[in-house]
Amino acid sequence: MYPYYTGYVPNMQLHSDDIAGIQYLYGPNTGGGGGVQTPAPNPAPTDSGNCNDRMECKPYVDADYCQIYPDNMKYWCPKSCFNCNV
């Protein structure tokens, strides 16, 4: 498998060596079709009595980072992402 990106090619067929390499890493196709990923639960509120954001959080909150990157935002923006005990 040579790592070369050619852009989107409709109806592209993988070469047999590419298929063999993928199956070596991940196993053969089981025909399962994938599944539905359940969403992660909301992070637990922080226990800190002094709950303040560590940086300017508004742009990240507006970009929905509290949902996309909950672990990072819990640390950097607990107040803005509502991770403080009330």
Are residues 73 and 63 in contact, defined by beta-carbon separation less than 8 angstroms?
no
Pick from 37, 34, 79, 41: which is nearest to 58 by CA? 79
pLDDT recorded at residue 31: 78
**What does the pLDDT read at residue 76?**
92
pLDDT score of 53: 93
Predicted structure pTM score: 0.41
DSSP 80: T
Residues of the chain with pLDDT under 70: 1-2, 34-35, 40, 42-49, 86
